[in-house]
Amino acid sequence: EIIETADSKSVLDMWDDTAIVVEDAFGPISLLNSVHPDAAVRDAADRALVTESAFMTEVFQNEKLFERVKSVVPANSAQKQLKKDLLESFEDSGVALPQERRHRFREISERLTELSQEFAKNIRENKTVLHFTPEECVGLPQSYLDRAQKDGQGNIVVGFDYPDYVPFMMNSASEPARKRYYIANTNRGAPRNIEILNEIVALRREIAELYGVPTFAHYVTKRRMVENPETVARFLDEVKTAVTDAELRDLDQLQQIAEKPKIERWDMMYYRERLREQRYAVDQEALRAYFPTVATLHWMLDITERLYGVRFEEANVPIWHDDVLYLDVNDAESGDFIGGVYLDLYPRPDKYKHAAAWPVRGVSRRARRKPISALVTNFNRDGLTHNELETLLHEFGHVMHGVLSHTEYNQHSGTSVERDFVEAPSQMYEEWGNRMESLSVLREHCADCPAIDASLVSRIRAARKFGSGIDYGRQHLYAAFDMALSSAEPGECLEVWKKMEAATPMGHVEGASFPGTFEHIASGYAAGYYGYMWAKVIALDLIGAFGPDLMNTSTGRRFRDLILSRGSEEPARDLVERFLGRPVSSEAFFQEIRGE
């Protein structure tokens, strides 16, 4: 019908309708393959996503559809952007390649989807547990020991969920135990995921060859804010210049605390925590009393309501696990239904192990379609550390980007923006966990909690600044490794990683296999991990627009209208510059790297 339709608007409307049908089928599947408790459902979802990939490649390789979309005469800016985006999707799916290359591209696309799914599954369903003796548990909070599983010899039994791993690495006084846990954690996808990643890298290199471009990074970045790999390289060089001294300074301070000549990677969280306790009187585990999980969730919903002019209301809908909470999102002024949010906050076997947001259903104003997003985390039920509080806000920033988008067409909804912009609204929202004007609202949701005063917030902020050199040094390494694997001669991934990590101040840990856990570059962040820091530049500049009061509702509503509601209807650069009233500045970003 699309091919035979004469009217340009009808072509785009029919495309939108078709995209909605596809999303209705596969949007929920893309979530359930990571969270559903039934292995049969997860496996079926994995197979379905491979089918979806094959179907979408077939659609975007259809020459008649391509020619019909090319002939569309847009009547407005939304139609113009949709036509442009669709044509790029056709081109990126191989429609203009010779028949033999087009067929090979389709084979590669299907195989990449299979490999990405297997990579994630190997981590998600890893059943490895470690046993630690009471002597190895010295320093662990009593609450941690009380909830931990035990074996018949009185040892604790732990896996790789965040509530197990992070508090142990922060608090166990046993260096051998921390080392054993660290190495095991980096190997939770090995050896199979190393093999998978090597095959993924080789297939991506072949895509570059099919298109006649120098590298896979060229194929990817032409659709990003950076436009080309050379811009990425210059940006990473700037970060490297700024971070080198800051990282060495941070490590020197940790060495003084540890009274040892070299800080190892398994020491990092432990001695950072000791320094924060000694210098700033900030204890992450003790902060759980200030941030009870349920009360903190209600606080976050409250400040989001105030900031963006919305209301959350619990509703009864089918859910995949009893822990899941669903909320309707309504406009506070009109009362109109905006969309929905699923919250799946706590760990369980075979669930996705990290924290992420899923854009399950995108908006379409034309089709009167309402968006739905899902938040998936693995938090302690009793309370959050400040780091976890920031994670909650970060992922909810993604959720609201999806739910508050109000675009004409489904393809432009929510987080469909350029990959190197998508992390900006989410990273921006982390700041609401670091300011008195927002944190003071928590008292309204937990009268029995210890009071959060200006002194505590000041100490949290100071403690948070420490280690910025280490953190950005690591982010730079991740981004540089990703770009190396997307280069003309990527090499064997584990050997490349060993060489690159060995060149950093902390060196490489023998026996560690981090690349086998790096899900970002096995999926949509390939040749794009730099985007976290690129987006952080934007995020920190956006925060400045709120001035001294993050709860400024007029600025919050303006951010909703000018950024969140627009999705990808315009290039991200244009949206941001309109909100700021000027081009983006990187000053705040480099100040943060330096710990200023």
Vertex 83 angle, CA 79 and 87, to 5°:
170
Residues 318 and 436 in one domain: yes
User: Per the structure block, which two tokens stand in for 32?
Assistant: 């359930």
pLDDT at 4: 72
For 528-546, b/e burial (b = at least 16 CB within 10 A) is bbbbbbbbbbbbbbbbeeb
In a domain, 555, yes or no: yes
Average per-residue pLDDT for the chain = 97
pLDDT of 439 > 80? The answer is yes
What is the rounded distance in angstroms from the CA atom of residue 146 to the CA atom of residue 140?
10
User: Per the structure block, which two tokens stand in for 551?
Assistant: 């709860």
Residues 134 and 47 in one domain: no
Going by C-beta distance under 8 Å and a sequence separation of 6 or more, which residues neighbour residue 241? none
pLDDT at 55: 95
Query: Tokens 């806000």 appear where?
Result: 393
Residues 464 and 557 in one domain: yes
Residues 15 and 85 in one domain: yes
User: Per the structure block, which two tokens stand in for 372?
Assistant: 């739905």
pLDDT at 453: 95
pLDDT at 166: 96
308, 312, 317, 322: CA torsion to nearest 10: 110
What is the rounded distance in angstroms from the CA atom of residue 394 to the CA atom of residue 424?
10
Contact assessment for residue 93 and residue 58, using Cβ atoms and an 8 Å cutoff: no
Residues 149 and 60 in one domain: no
Q: How far is CA 536 from CA 192, 228, 493, 540, 553, in A?
A: 33, 19, 27, 6, 23
Contact assessment for residue 217 and residue 527, using Cβ atoms and an 8 Å cutoff: yes
Phi, psi of 282 (to 5 degrees): -115, 120
Q: Residues 316-326: what's their mean pLDDT?
A: 98
Residues 174 and 46 in one domain: no
- DSSP characters for 21-81? HHHHHHHHHHHHHHH-S-HHHHHHHHHHHHHHHHHHHHHHT-HHHHHHHHT---SSHHHHH
pLDDT at 422: 98
Residues 338 and 398 in one domain: yes
Maximum distance among all alpha carbons in the chain? 76
Residues 44 and 143 in one domain: no
Going by C-beta distance under 8 Å and a sequence separation of 6 or more, which residues neighbour residue 178? 168, 169, 172, 266, 267, 270
Q: Residues 415-438: what's their mean pLDDT?
A: 98
pLDDT band at 142 (very low <50, low <70, confident <90, very high): very high
Going by C-beta distance under 8 Å and a sequence separation of 6 or more, which residues neighbour residue 192? 118, 122, 516
Last residue in a domain, options 186, 210, 227: 186
Contact assessment for residue 341 and residue 313, using Cβ atoms and an 8 Å cutoff: no
Could you give the 3-state DSSP secondary structure of residue 326? strand
**How many domains does the chain fold into?**
3
pLDDT of 473 > 70? The answer is yes
pLDDT at 525: 95
Going by C-beta distance under 8 Å and a sequence separation of 6 or more, which residues neighbour residue 224? 418, 419, 420, 528, 531
Last residue in a domain, options 57, 76, 96: 96
pLDDT band at 6 (very low <50, low <70, confident <90, very high): low
pLDDT tens for 80-121 read 999 999 999 999 999 999 999 999 999 999 999 999 999 999
pLDDT at 574: 98
Contact assessment for residue 460 and residue 386, using Cβ atoms and an 8 Å cutoff: yes
pLDDT tens for 549-575 read 999 999 999 999 999 999 999 999 999
User: Per the structure block, which two tokens stand in for 429?
Assistant: 């929202």
Residues 435 and 314 in one domain: yes
Task: Determine the residue type at 573.
Answer: R
Could you give the 3-state DSSP secondary structure of residue 20? helix
What is the rounded distance in angstroms from the CA atom of residue 177 to the CA atom of residue 190?
20
How many other C-beta atoms can be found within 10 angstroms of the C-beta atom of residue 281? Answer: 13
Model pTM score: 0.95
Counting beta carbons within 10 angstroms of the beta carbon of residue 70, is it exposed (0 to 12), middle (13 to 18) or buried (19 or more)? exposed
- DSSP characters for 428-446? HHGGGGS-HHHHGGGGGT-
In a domain, 265, yes or no: no
Closest to 86 (Cα-Cα) out of 105, 101, 110, 65: 65
Query: Where on the phi/psi map is residue 459: left (φ > 0), alpha (ψ -120 to 50), or beta?
Result: alpha
pLDDT tens for 39-49 read 999 999 999 99
Measure CA 397 to chain center: 10
pLDDT of 392 > 70? The answer is yes
Residues 162 and 68 in one domain: no
Residues 182 and 304 in one domain: no
What is the rounded distance in angstroms from the CA atom of residue 371 to the CA atom of residue 455?
40
205, 209, 212, 213: CA torsion to nearest 10: 10
In a domain, 521, yes or no: no
In a domain, 48, yes or no: yes
pLDDT tens for 202-251 read 999 999 999 999 999 999 999 999 999 999 999 999 999 999 999 999 99
pLDDT band at 9 (very low <50, low <70, confident <90, very high): confident
In a domain, 80, yes or no: yes
Last residue in a domain, options 163, 186, 209: 186
Query: Tokens 């709120």 appear where?
Result: 546
Q: Residues 374-395: what's their mean pLDDT?
A: 97
Query: Which element (helix H / strand E) includes 389?
Result: helix 386-403
In a domain, 140, yes or no: yes
Domain CATH code at residue 361: 1.10.1370.40
pLDDT at 256: 94
Contact assessment for residue 169 and residue 266, using Cβ atoms and an 8 Å cutoff: yes
How many other C-beta atoms can be found within 10 angstroms of the C-beta atom of residue 595? Answer: 16
Domain extent at residue 87 = 8-96
pLDDT tens for 352-373 read 999 999 999 999 999 999 999 9
Distance from first CA to last CA of the chain, Å, rounded? 59
pLDDT band at 260 (very low <50, low <70, confident <90, very high): confident
pLDDT at 596: 80
Asked if omega into 229 is within 30° of 0 (cis), the reply is no
Residues 564 and 443 in one domain: yes
pLDDT band at 1 (very low <50, low <70, confident <90, very high): low
Task: Determine the residue type at 398.
Answer: H
pLDDT at 8: 79
For 497-525, b/e burial (b = at least 16 CB within 10 A) is bbeebeeeebebbeebbbbbbbbbbbbeb
Contact assessment for residue 245 and residue 496, using Cβ atoms and an 8 Å cutoff: no
What is the rounded distance in angstroms from the CA atom of residue 167 to the CA atom of residue 133?
16
Contact assessment for residue 485 and residue 518, using Cβ atoms and an 8 Å cutoff: no
In a domain, 177, yes or no: yes
Q: How far is CA 311 from CA 260, 307, 321, in A?
A: 53, 11, 24
Q: Residues 314-339: what's their mean pLDDT?
A: 98
In a domain, 131, yes or no: yes
